[in-house]
Chains A and B, each alone.
Chain A
Amino acid sequence: MRIRRLDLTRYGRFTGRTIDFGPAGENEPDLHVIYGPNEAGKSTALAAFLDLLFGIGPRSPFNFLHPYPTMRIGAALEFARGTRELVRVKRPQNSLLGAGDQPIPEAIVQAELGNIDRESYQTMFSLDDDTLEKGGESILASKGDLGQLLFSASAGLSDLGRNLEEIRGEAERFYKYRARSGELADLKARLATLRVEREKVDTFAAQYAQLVATRDKTFSLYNDALAERAKIESRLGEIERLLIALPRLGALRDIRQRLLPLADLPDIPRDWAEQLPGMQKDEIALATRAQAAEDEVVRLEGQLAAIIVDRTALALTERFSGLSDLRARYVTATKDIPERRLQSREADLVISGILERIERKDEPEPGKLVLGASITASLQALVESWSGIEAALKAAENELDAARGGVEEARVQLDAAGGTSESEGNPSGIASSLGPVVAALRADDHAARRRLADRAHATHLRALGDRMQELRPWSGDIEQLAGLKLPDADTIDRWKKEAAAAQRQLDRREDEIERLTTERDRIQAERDALAVTGIVSDQEASDVRMARERAWASHRRSLDEASADTFEATLRQDDIVTTTRLGHTTDLVKLQEASRALVVADSSLGRAVSLRDAAKTVLQRVGEEMAAALGDASPALPVTMTLPQLEAWLSRRASALEVRASLLSVQHDRDGADSDARTAHDRLTAALAAKGITVEAEPGFEALLETAQDAIDREGELEGRRAALAARQRDQRGRERDLEKVTAARTGWMDAWQSACKRCWLGDAETMPSIGAVREILAALVEMRPVLEKRASFADRIEKMENDQAAFAVELEAMARDLGIASAGVATLDLGRDIQRRVDAARAAEADRISTQRDLDAALAKQRALAADIAIHAQLKTERIRCFGVQSLAEMAVKLQTIEKRNGLQEQYDAAARDIVAMLRISTIDEAERLLDGLERGTLEAELAEAKPRFADLDQRSRDLFSDHSKACDAVEAVGGDDAVARIEERRRTTQLDVEDKALRYLRLRLGSAAAEHALRAYREQHRSSMMARASDAFRTISRGSYESLATQPHKDGEMLIAVGADGRSKTAMELSRGARFQLYLALRVAGYHEFARSRPSVPFVADDIMESFDDFRAEEAFRLFADMAGVGQVIYLTHHRHLAEIALRVCPSARLHQMEA
């Protein structure tokens, strides 16, 4: 980057100041020296340059003349891609502006600066005494980019070492030499855990084979033990049974002994003993019951012989009971018949009453008079419609009369209104032609407008008078006022501005003159005071010297005493003056300054006076111009009018002219209204004439309008009357038509009535019956129909009942004949009761006979059954007694008891034998006896005592073996087919992959950072020599060989710079003199600048009088180095030492000198 031009537009003391560095010369060092005395603003310019690049700080001190919002720095900067115009203003954001004051990103400038921040730039390449020293120290402390550059060999590498450490640390999270923990250790532990886990759950093939073998082996052992155990168990049981059987055999043999004497008793069925007591009881009971049966049979046979039955009556039983219904009807009829006959006679009376009502008293068959439904309906319909027809006819006649009256009334009204009904087809047309004209003229507002205009005119005239009064002293009429030629607004405005500016100028200059006069007087007084205190002014000294020189010249010419005295006197005076001046050097200087200041003050005063006079002239000129203009306009206007007075007068004139304009407008309105009124009058007159309506001479507009309206109204009324008459006539015709219709309907009804009557006996008479008669007949016939029906029904009932009574009597008489009962003269019902009694007695006797016969049959059957039982019992008894060889049942009972005892013993014997046989598990008791007889109880007990513990041992062993076998089976089963091992293996495999993956990552990071560390060492080695060598050279140059070179030596955390003197002694920076140290610092910047420029675009190097402590020779060397740097980038040196500027130009003739004025 290079700065082409710096615009100090508004910054610090600068306003619109520019420093133009121009383009860089071809192949010439780009070195610029800015020379300016103290206070010329060099430091401000440097600050402005930094502010341009990095922004104006929030509390910039450079706002004393231009406040913050107005501060502005501009520049033309040469960037890699061309020159750019930039502007910096003071704002929190977007303070960097480009073309058209559009904000542009800071990055544009930052990129060109190689992203150095302000502080770094200040400490590296924008130097004054302060930053040179501070920055130098920080470089030596290896801080900042240059510090890093010097010691770490390159800017930007500063963090690499640390970052590499971080990367290495990251790698070592996986594994670190001698560290016990870390990811690798964790993963290894995991692998080990998984291995153990697998071993815990897994079974290998060999193990499995072993498990199966164990299972099979235990199974076989278990089986063997079981067999052995069973054998002993069986023997133990056997011995125990034998020992039990032995005493049982003894008991058996005892019973056998007791049975022997009972052996010859017969074997009888088991139930005989039980049946014996029953048989003895039965024998007695059977004998008793046989006797009782015999008695019963005899009693019943006697009873049966005593019963006699009436057979004839019994035969009629059914026939008689069949008469019960007929009898009931007979009884009912006897009660009903008289009642029905009474009712039938009542009906006859009703019918004859009705016949009398319809005047057919002698009608033999009243049924024939009843009318059919259709005829009844027709007659009723006609009767009902008759009243409607009658009413309609009446109404129609009334309405026709009313309509005729209405027509007459309308005709009378029309005549009264003066019209005739005949002219209705011939309207006069007055309304159609006059109506619109009148309506339009009524809507016209000319009269109102005329009134308004008159009022406004009067008001404006009054206002105008007032306005004209306000214009005094000017007098004249309004038209004169309007015609005045007055100066225009622009002119007045110009006068105002000029006068105001001149007045301001005048005021300021007056103040200035006042101040300057005071100032000059003060300086004058000061100078005079100095002169009074004996200071000889330059002028006086010069006069004395001139006098001396003249005296010397004259003395030389004459060389006499007088001239010598004169010369001496002047010489002495000159000496005195000189001595005085020497003695008052300070005062003299002050005197000189005062004189200079006086001159300056005089000059300023003069300038102020001339400016004031110029302002006065302007004021005067304005006044004159105004007076001239007023004079031209009107003699009535006073020329002495001031500018504000004139402005006020002009404003009043303008309002007067406004009133005039309003007045003119009102007059115009009034004329318009008048003209409209005339036009309306003419139009109405013409319209009336056209209709032949005459008017009196010269009528007013309102009268005309009224006449026309009257004509229109009258026409309207006549039209109304005619229309009313026509409507009434239409109404009358309608009524007449209605009456005709009703009359026709009545005739039709009469015809229908006649034909209806003819269809029945009503039409038999010569005259048709009246409506009233028919209505009565119809009602009577309706009443008669049910009475007729009721009478027929009564007659029918009476006949049926009489028939029933006759049938009942005939039947009873027939039965009485059969029974031999005399019926003659006996009432029917009494006869019935006699027959009943006979029949009931016969039925009772028959029932008694049947019941007794049944009892007898039962007694005979019982007797027969008893005889059979007795026979059976006797046979059984005989059979059993014979079996025992005894005579009675009692003897037989004794025998039976003995047999029972024998049977008990036999059962005991059998049970004992069965037990023994079962115990010994052999088939017969004989074998058992043989076996037991061959045994010794003592021997058996001994064997038992020996076998029992053996059995216990074997039992325990088989249990143990069973348990072993179960466990072995379980173990084989436990292997299972689950995937636990496979899953552990998979986890192990994944963990291995994880280890490998992380190991690779570790290696990459470790190897990569190792390679980078190697490379970094090499890089530092290569680059350190470069900057250090340059700094060494530069320092040697600036120190003019006092120091031979720079070197480093390790120190605490890093390295330390030492300067090696020409004498070979080395010093640290702090041990150098201030001058030498500043030279070292500059040398470092020079070297850094070159080093920096190697890797980035160059930036301007700016230094502000940093060579105060350098002697001229060293300054010269420094400028040589600057010139050298200027070959790489732009170098700007600001100084207030002219000799430094001269040295710079001598060392580098192409350097450009820029002057800055104080």
Chain B
Amino acid sequence: MAFRFVHAADIHLDSPLRSLALRDPELADLIGNATRQAFTGIIDLCLAEEVDALFLAGDLYDGDQTSMKTARYFANQLHRLDQAGIRVLIVRGNHDALSRITKELVLPDSVKVFSGRAEAIPVEGAAGEPRVVIHGLSFAQPHAPDSLLGRYKPPIEGAVNVGILHTSLAGAPGHDPYAPCSVADLRATGFRYWALGHVHKRFVADGPCTIVMPGNPQGRDINEAGARSVTLGTIADDGSIRIEERRTSVAQFERTVVDAGGLADWRELIATIAKALEKTRASVAAGHLVVRLQIVGKTPLAWHMRSDLDLLRTEVEHRAAATGACSVEKLEIDCQPPDVSPVSPSDPIAELRRLIESEIVGSDAFQQDAIEIGEELRGQLPQECRHLFGADEAGLKSFVLSLAQEGADDVLARLHAQAKAGQG
């Protein structure tokens, strides 16, 4: 009989999605708490595939996750597996090291949470002659600057050895280094499968030792764009290992770039965006698509888009809704007007623009004003939003001044539009 397992990691249960798209209450209802929905999906997968075990390679919750409801939910799901006779093997990750909530829970006996001392658990075969052995180790601290690999037990002779490890590997952008080690190190252990966790992007290394970093099963913001998955593994009787990727995202984040270059007609622009949305939607299997749209290119509509951003957003959202199971969380306009129409030097708005660039932005008087505006707003914002302004005065100044130029472009675009409307 083959030994079958599901390998997931970085569940980050109840970690909220970060998207402005959720301002739409209907959408919030639909894809809200997607991390939980995804985890339920993983449990359903285990039951449907009748696997023998579920490996969870760390980071069950966010470190600051404090609600016992989350832990209770987690325990309930593991009970479902317990009733079906499916074992669960868990190593803790850096986030779990901070978490208190699991400690308060009573988990079923079929659940194995690896402790701070390396253990090798036989999961299949006779007592003296195990066929599959699972190795694991949970580091108790949130930081693990050194490799933990050396602390794992040596492979059991004659058995298929599988290791579960929470590691940043050689380091990944956006992830703290944690128990670093290299693929070569992992291969050198003599294990046949390494079930990794920590990095939120899928990574698979084949060979005599299969190394899988499944990524998190549900992207939480645009920085976790793309399809998300877990791994369904089968250890055949001859010890060979076959893996399949199984999609788990309830909602999928995607960036879509629309080239509006050369478009001069507003309706044409909307149609082009709609087409891009439909194309992206068609390429995504998840139940819902959340798109961040970036519109680029040189187009005479550049100012129009800036000045009528709200209108554009409304129309695009409308088109997204028409596409079906698709939302636009943000619209980024990165368009320039075409070079071919040199602005008359006597155009007052052009002159204002020139003045702003050459005289105003750099002037002490304006900078003073800008910093005051920034400080005033920062004082009014809720504490959790103040990080926008950077850590210190210098950060605030550079932040405010960087916005000033963009803001001036926005304002000039609107003045331009209003002036044109006034003439028309």
Contacts and interface: CB of A to CB of B under 8 A. Distances in A.
Interface string A502-541: 0000000000000000000000000000000000000000
A999 B67 CA distance: 30
B317 interface: no
B355 A1018 contact: yes
Interface in A622-641: none
Interface string A152-183: 00111101100110010000000101000000
Contact of B385 (A157, A203, A999, A1012): A999
Contact of B388 (A983, A1000, A1005): A1000
Contacts of B75: 977
Ranked nearest first, the 10 interchain pairs of A and B with the lowest CB-CB distance are: A1008-B407, A1095-B346, A1008-B411, A977-B73, A1004-B407, A982-B14, A977-B72, A986-B16, A205-B100, A1015-B355
A171 to B, nearest CB: 9
A562 to B, nearest CB: 90
B319 interface: no
Interface string A983-1020: 10111111011111101101111111111101110110
A309 interface: no
B87 interface: no
Interface in A804-858: none
Interface in A176-228: 177, 184, 187-188, 191, 202-209, 212
Contacts of A159: 418-419, 422
A80 to B, nearest CB: 13
A987 B28 contact: yes
B16 A982 contact: yes
B290 interface: no
Interface string B396-419: 000010011011111110110011
A979 B69 contact: yes
Nearest to B67: A981
B318 interface: no
B19 A990 contact: yes
A164 B419 CA distance: 12
A209 B17 CA distance: 29
Chain B interface, >50% SS class: helix
Given A976-B72, A977-B73, A982-B70, 18 more contacts: A154-B348, A175-B377, A177-B376, A203-B69, A206-B100, A977-B76, A982-B67, A983-B32, A985-B67, A990-B28, A994-B23, A1003-B373, A1007-B370, A1007-B407, A1008-B408, A1014-B356, A1015-B352, A1019-B348
Contact of B363 (A184, A989, A1002, A1014): A1014
A990 B73 contact: no
B410 A1019 contact: no
Contacts of B376: 177
Nearest to B69: A981
B360 A994 contact: no
Nearest to A979: B33
Interface in A298-327: none
A1022 to B, nearest CB: 9
A984 to B, nearest CB: 9
Contact of B414 (A163, A187, A204, A1018): A163
B348 A204 contact: no
B104 A205 contact: yes
Contacts of A203: 67-69
B346 A993 contact: no
A157 to B, nearest CB: 5
Contacts of B360: 1011, 1014-1015, 1018
A1096 interface: yes
The CB with the most chain A CB atoms within 10 A, among B376, B377, B412, is that of B377
A1015 B359 contact: yes
Given A983-B33, A995-B385, A1015 B22 contact: no
A977 B16 CA distance: 16
A115 interface: yes
Interface string A327-371: 000000000000000000000000000000000000000000000
Interface string B358-370: 0111010110011
B341 interface: no
B404 A994 contact: no
Nearest to B409: A1008
A860 interface: no
Given A205-B101, A994-B23, A1011-B366, A156 B348 contact: yes
B344 interface: yes
Contact of B403 (A175, A191, A983, A1004): A1004
Contacts of B349: 156, 160
22 contacts: A156-B348, A163-B414, A167-B411, A187-B382, A191-B382, A202-B68, A206-B100, A977-B74, A982-B14, A982-B67, A989-B16, A990-B16, A992-B384, A1004-B410, A1006-B407, A1008-B407, A1010-B373, A1011-B370, A1011-B407, A1011-B411, A1012-B415, A1014-B365
A1094 interface: yes
B20 interface: yes
B175 interface: no
Interface in B68-108: 68-76, 100-101, 103-104
Q: For the side of the interface on B, what is the size category? A: 35 or more
Nearest to B74: A977
A978 interface: yes
Contacts of A985: 14, 16, 67
Contacts of A979: 14, 32-33, 36, 69, 73
A121 to B, nearest CB: 16
B380 interface: yes
Contacts of A861: none
A999 B375 CA distance: 12
B175 to A, nearest CB: 20
Contacts of A977: 69, 72-76
B374 interface: yes
Interface string A958-985: 0000000000000000011111111101
B381 interface: yes
A159 B419 CA distance: 7
A1004 B406 contact: yes
A689 B57 CA distance: 136
A202 B20 contact: no
A1003 B404 CA distance: 8
A422 B16 CA distance: 131
Contacts of B117: none
B67 A1007 contact: no
B244 interface: no
B103 A1018 contact: no
B400 A1003 contact: yes
B404 A986 contact: no
A163 B412 CA distance: 10
Contact of A1007 (B359, B363, B373): B373
Contacts of A156: 347-349, 419
A148 B311 CA distance: 32
B291 to A, nearest CB: 16
B351 interface: yes
A217 B353 CA distance: 74
Nearest to B102: A205
B18 interface: yes
A59 B42 CA distance: 84
A164 B411 contact: yes
B377 A999 contact: yes
Nearest to B106: A212
B66 interface: yes
Contacts of A175: 377, 380
Interface in B1-36: 14, 16-20, 22-23, 28, 32-33, 36
Given A990-B22, A1011-B360, A1019-B351, A212 B404 contact: no
Contacts of B103: 205
Contacts of B70: 981-982
B346 to A, nearest CB: 3
B423 interface: yes
A975 B370 CA distance: 49
Given A986-B17, A986-B33, A999 B100 contact: no
